[in-house]
Chains A and B, each alone.
Chain A
Amino acid sequence: MDEYVQHHHPLPEESQRCEALQAALDLIDQGITLVDKDLKLVVWNRCFLRLFDFPPEMAYSGAPFESFIRYNALRGEYGPGDPQQQTAERVAMARSFAEYELERTRPNGTVLSVRGMAVPGRGLITFYSDVTEARHREALIREQNALLEARVAERTAELLQTNAHLRQALEHNEAIALSLVRSEGRMRLITDSIPALLAYFGHDRHYHYVNRGYRDWFGIDPSQPESIKARAFLGEDTYSRIRPYVMQAIRGNAVTFEYEVQTVHRGLRVARTSLIPETSPQGEVVGCFELTFDVTDERLAHDRMAQAQKMEALGLLTGGLAHDFNNILAVVQGNLTALAEIPALSPYLNDYLKPALDAALRGSHLIRGLLSFARKHPLSSRIEDLNLCLARTATLLRGVLPDSLSFVTEPWPQPLLVRLDPNQLQDALLNLALNARDATGGKGRITIRCSMVTLGPEAAAKLDLAAGQYARISVEDDGCGMDQLTMDRVFEPFFSTKALGQGSGMGMAMVYGFVQQSAGAIELRSQVEQGTTVSIFFPLHGRATLPADPVDAPPLVPEIPSEGLRGLALLVEDDPGLRQLLRRELLDIGFSVIEAENGAEALDLIDHTQGIELLLSDVVMPGSIDGLKVVAHARARARSRASC
């Protein structure tokens, strides 16, 4: 201590205190100097000398502070420059005794913090601190901060870029989602517009998609396919019928099947469903596409077509048979009649002739029915009011039907003009009414009703008619009705539900043939134990009043003389036996007879023979010229002769 602090007359106590103070100052890890107003060193400590690497001998009480500054300047502590000037500048600043604080880095890298402040009346006290470590740490922290910031900036840039990519991807996804929504909307619109039921169900048989057809048929909400259960909307019975097909599809086999199903809004429909399995790349069935069409109309049309073809075939068969058989019967009946008319015929022979004639007559009635069915029965069509036909038939029926039966007729308020053969219509109505009587067991109610109806395209198509206005006559009973099997066969010749011997089975066949020949249609509605309604439709004739057409006029006064020689008759008949019989009949009533065995011969005779008074011609003959053409030709010839 003595070597640093100069004591002037130190007292023992003061000396002790100075020594203690110096010892304390030397322990401080901070350099301290106190210079007086003349910049002479008064107080210093070891740390000061160590921080600046000053030689200890430089420090003594009263040492000029300038010597320390110069020492530093000379060893380059203040950087390049003139040491004298550097020293002078620093001494001048110290003399101002202004408070200051600075840091400087020594050439050895040590960073010192120097802080000076005036001690009033005493001089200037200065503190020196080694802040190298602190500054180093601060620099390190700054460097790390900078590095961290750079990393943060780099990471932020990466994140921004990632964000930008994500945003782009999100926008792309949103565009795809929107496109998918639109596409799904279009697909739904298309699938909803298809007149079919479309669905997809998974392997677990849960629906994933159904189209609007399911709402139309079953009242199902298509937006909630997951809540749909086939068993629920099909019903237990239908579902159990189709379940084997579903299981087959689930096993990977495409199937198509038809079934009847009760719908909510459209009644009982016939459905044709195809199930097409969807398989994964591994070959496992993941679900099934379901496509269902309404084939009710198709089935009906097919059934109608089959029925029409069957009836047509039957008609061809029976027509051909009936025509040939009719000629045979005509010969038998004609010859037997001629034989029976021989005067003074033995009664013994008559006993044989009468049963033979009766049998031939029954045979001819049967043939008449067959011909009616085959539409080969010649019709005498004319314009008739259906109401009048009904009135005439009703008179007949009232005499036939039992009193226990309620028989009602309901004519239409206006005339219903139709072109038909009234006799055939009467036969048809009698047949239908007698069938109705049998169906009711004579204790029910029969109503025959005339009406005018307008058939739309759909209703007309079911009857195989063109749309338009029709006159309808219906025979309705509340009898035992018919099952479907009976209804399918009721118009077939010889089909009868009656006991053997009670019905010929020709009644309904005749009605059918007559209606077909009259360009009409029959509708049959029947339910077992509920009754039957047979409706016949005829095209309505356009004219409101009965025509005065000669063709349709009632018969006029006969012009053919009934007695005496009647002139020349042309007989046209292809069957030789029948021709011979008819020739004899004509001769017997006074005609001379020329004969033709077919239409072509007849035309030739008409053209080249004068004075033919009578033409009697078969209708159906071999060759291209039938009896109707022969008559038309003769009529044309007669007109041309009349006008000459």
Chain B
Amino acid sequence: MSAFVPNRAVAAEVPFLQKPFSRAELQLALSSARS
């Protein structure tokens, strides 16, 4: 899965998440989002 923050001036994008992932992995992915 791919998480993406679309409406920021510089889009923030997290790396692909391999299913199945835990809540912690999702939070980690969101926190390492790159612009």
Which A residues are closer than 8 A to B by beta carbons?
326-327, 329-334, 337-338, 341, 360, 364, 368, 377-380, 550, 553-556, 558-560, 562, 573, 578, 585-586, 588-589, 606, 610-619, 627-628, 631, 634-635, 637-639, 641-642
Please give, as numbers and ranges, the residues of chain A lying within 8 Å of B9 by CB-CB distance: 642
CA A207 to CA B3, docked complex, whole Å: 76
Pair A635/B19 contact, Cβ less than 8 Å: no
Please give, as numbers and ranges, the residues of chain A lying within 8 Å of B15 by CB-CB distance: 380
Please give, as numbers and ranges, the residues of chain B lying within 8 Å of A368 by CB-CB distance: 18
Pair A612/B7 contact, Cβ less than 8 Å: yes
Q: When A and B form their complex, which 8 residue pairs have the shortest distance between CB atoms, in order from nearest?
A: A330-B20, A378-B16, A634-B6, A333-B20, A615-B4, A555-B34, A638-B6, A330-B19
Residue of B2, B7, B30, B35 with most partner-chain A CB within 10 A: B7
Also in contact, A560 and B31, with CB within 8 A (given A330-B19, A585-B23, A619-B2): yes
Pair A612/B6 contact, Cβ less than 8 Å: yes
**Closest approach, in angstroms, between the C-beta of B23 and any C-beta of chain A?**
5
30 A-B pairs in the complex with CB atoms less than 8 angstroms apart = A326-B19, A327-B19, A330-B21, A333-B20, A378-B2, A379-B16, A550-B35, A558-B12, A559-B10, A559-B12, A560-B5, A560-B12, A560-B31, A562-B30, A588-B23, A612-B6, A614-B4, A615-B3, A616-B3, A616-B4, A617-B3, A619-B1, A627-B2, A634-B4, A637-B7, A638-B6, A638-B8, A639-B11, A642-B8, A642-B10
Please give, as numbers and ranges, the residues of chain B lying within 8 Å of A559 by CB-CB distance: 5, 8, 10, 12, 33, 35
Please give, as numbers and ranges, the residues of chain A lying within 8 Å of B4 by CB-CB distance: 614-617, 631, 634-635
CA A642 to CA B6, docked complex, whole Å: 10
Residue of A334, A341, A616 with most partner-chain B CB within 10 A: A616
Pair B31/A606 contact, Cβ less than 8 Å: no
CA A372 to CA B4, docked complex, whole Å: 23
Please give, as numbers and ranges, the residues of chain B lying within 8 Å of A341 by CB-CB distance: 23
**Closest approach, in angstroms, between the C-beta of B11 and any C-beta of chain A?**
5
Please give, as numbers and ranges, the residues of chain A lying within 8 Å of B1 by CB-CB distance: 573, 616-619, 627
* CB-nearest residue of chain B to A323: B19
CA A588 to CA B27, docked complex, whole Å: 11
What total count of A-B pairs have CB within 8 Å? 119
CA A378 to CA B7, docked complex, whole Å: 24
Also in contact, A337 and B7, with CB within 8 A (given A616-B1, A616-B2): no
Which B residues are closer than 8 A to A by beta carbons?
1-13, 15-16, 18-23, 26-27, 30-35
Please give, as numbers and ranges, the residues of chain B lying within 8 Å of A378 by CB-CB distance: 2, 16, 18
* CB-nearest residue of chain B to A338: B23
Please give, as numbers and ranges, the residues of chain B lying within 8 Å of A364 by CB-CB distance: 19-20
Residue from A553, A589, A615 in contact with B6 in the complex, judged by beta carbons closer than 8 Å: A615
CA A176 to CA B22, docked complex, whole Å: 93
Known: A616-B1, A635-B13. 6 other contacts (CB 8 A): A330-B20, A555-B32, A615-B2, A628-B2, A635-B4, A641-B7
CA A627 to CA B35, docked complex, whole Å: 19
Residue from B5, B22, B34 in contact with A615 in the complex, judged by beta carbons closer than 8 Å: B5
Please give, as numbers and ranges, the residues of chain A lying within 8 Å of B12 by CB-CB distance: 558-560
* CB-nearest residue of chain A to B21: A330
* CB-nearest residue of chain B to A341: B23
CA A156 to CA B32, docked complex, whole Å: 120
* CB-nearest residue of chain B to A334: B20
CA A186 to CA B31, docked complex, whole Å: 79
Please give, as numbers and ranges, the residues of chain A lying within 8 Å of B6 by CB-CB distance: 606, 612, 615, 634-635, 637-638
Please give, as numbers and ranges, the residues of chain A lying within 8 Å of B21 by CB-CB distance: 330
Residue of B30, B31, B34 with most partner-chain A CB within 10 A: B30
Also in contact, A562 and B20, with CB within 8 A (given A611-B7, A615-B3, A638-B6): no
Please give, as numbers and ranges, the residues of chain B lying within 8 Å of A610 by CB-CB distance: 7
Also in contact, A562 and B34, with CB within 8 A (given A380-B16, A634-B6, A637-B6): no
**Closest approach, in angstroms, between the C-beta of B22 and any C-beta of chain A?**
5
Pair B11/A560 contact, Cβ less than 8 Å: no
Pair B5/A558 contact, Cβ less than 8 Å: no
Also in contact, A556 and B34, with CB within 8 A (given A330-B19, A589-B27, A628-B2): yes
Please give, as numbers and ranges, the residues of chain B lying within 8 Å of A380 by CB-CB distance: 15-16
**Closest approach, in angstroms, between the C-beta of A376 and any C-beta of chain B?**
11
Pair A617/B2 contact, Cβ less than 8 Å: yes
Please give, as numbers and ranges, the residues of chain B lying within 8 Å of A635 by CB-CB distance: 4, 6, 11, 13
CA A215 to CA B33, docked complex, whole Å: 68
**Closest approach, in angstroms, between the C-beta of A503 and any C-beta of chain B?**
22
* CB-nearest residue of chain B to A380: B15
CA A364 to CA B20, docked complex, whole Å: 7
Pair A578/B31 contact, Cβ less than 8 Å: no
Pair B31/A558 contact, Cβ less than 8 Å: yes
CA A558 to CA B35, docked complex, whole Å: 8
CA A408 to CA B24, docked complex, whole Å: 38
CA A380 to CA B15, docked complex, whole Å: 7
CA A555 to CA B31, docked complex, whole Å: 10
Also in contact, A613 and B7, with CB within 8 A (given A558-B31, A560-B30, A631-B2): yes
Pair B35/A556 contact, Cβ less than 8 Å: yes
CA A639 to CA B6, docked complex, whole Å: 9
CA A554 to CA B35, docked complex, whole Å: 10
Please give, as numbers and ranges, the residues of chain A lying within 8 Å of B23 by CB-CB distance: 337-338, 341, 585, 588-589
Pair A360/B7 contact, Cβ less than 8 Å: no
CA A562 to CA B12, docked complex, whole Å: 14
Pair B33/A560 contact, Cβ less than 8 Å: yes
**Closest approach, in angstroms, between the C-beta of B10 and any C-beta of chain A?**
8
